[in-house]
């Protein structure tokens, strides 16, 4: 299910409005079951940038692995990265009685991946080509990380309508799921 151009533009506009702390951004998402599945199209939009980031940051030990194996590994972990958190959120949403808001939350979360990765791209490029001092890159990376964590918090609060501590816990779970997935990927490289 591929969204049409209008839905993509509306959804990305909604994601940007959420980044600006505008709860009205939620009204721009297609919050239906079809819209839920189409929101995973954001993975297609993010994929080229993800490939650039992989090229800029090769994993240690990748030189000893055949290209085909690396490609399969990256595709598997890329797909897992898009699936793991929405799956983890199903029992959490049920437990917290957030089931009716789950679909809208995942839709907003998926489309928000586009501006989040675009925030990282210039920092990674600057680091790879060495145009900025290491200290400045560290500061920019920290600032981008904090901005993304704050953005995820805003999305969680608005889309799920959760109290502050619940939103923080959900963002921590999202972060930890990414850390575990990255750790698994690194373990397969070693």
Six-digit token string for 105: 């939350």
The low-confidence residues of the chain, meaning pLDDT below 70, are: 59-65, 189-190
Q: Distance between CA atoms of 121 and 88, rounded to whole angstroms?
A: 27
pLDDT at 170: 97
Burial class (CB in 10 A: 0-12, 13-18, 19+), 152: buried
Q: Shortest CA distance to 149 belongs to which of 168, 122, 177, 123?
A: 168
Domain boundaries, the chain: 5-189
pLDDT tens digits, one per residue of 102-155:
999 999 999 999 999 999 999 999 998 989 999 999 999 999 999 999 999 999
pLDDT at 73: 81
pLDDT at 182: 85
pLDDT at 61: 62
pLDDT at 175: 94
Rounded to two decimals, what is the model's pTM?
Answer: 0.92
pLDDT at 70: 76
């Amino acid at each position: 299910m591929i969204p049409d151009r209008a839905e993509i533009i509306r959804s990305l506009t909604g994601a940007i409005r959420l980044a600006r702390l505008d709860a009205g951004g939620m009204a721009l998402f297609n919050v239906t079951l079809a819209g839920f599945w189409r929101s995973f199209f954001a993975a297609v939009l993010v994929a080229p940038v993800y490939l650039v980031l992989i090229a800029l940051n090769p994993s240690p030990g990748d030189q000893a692995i055949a290209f085909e194996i690396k490609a399969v590994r990256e595709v598997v972990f890329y797909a897992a990265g898009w699936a793991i958190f929405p799956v983890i959120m199903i029992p959490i949403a049920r437990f917290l009685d957030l089931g009716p808001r789950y679909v809208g939350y995942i839709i907003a979360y998926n489309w928000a991946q586009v501006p989040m990765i675009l925030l990282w791209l210039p920092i990674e490029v600057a680091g790879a080509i060495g145009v900025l001092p290491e200290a400045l890159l560290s500061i920019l990376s920290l600032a981008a990380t904090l901005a993304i964590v704050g953005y995820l918090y805003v999305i969680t609060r608005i889309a799920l309508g959760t109290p502050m501590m619940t939103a923080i816990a959900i963002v921590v779970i999202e972060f930890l799921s990414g850390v575990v997935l990255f750790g698994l990927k690194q373990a397969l490289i070693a």
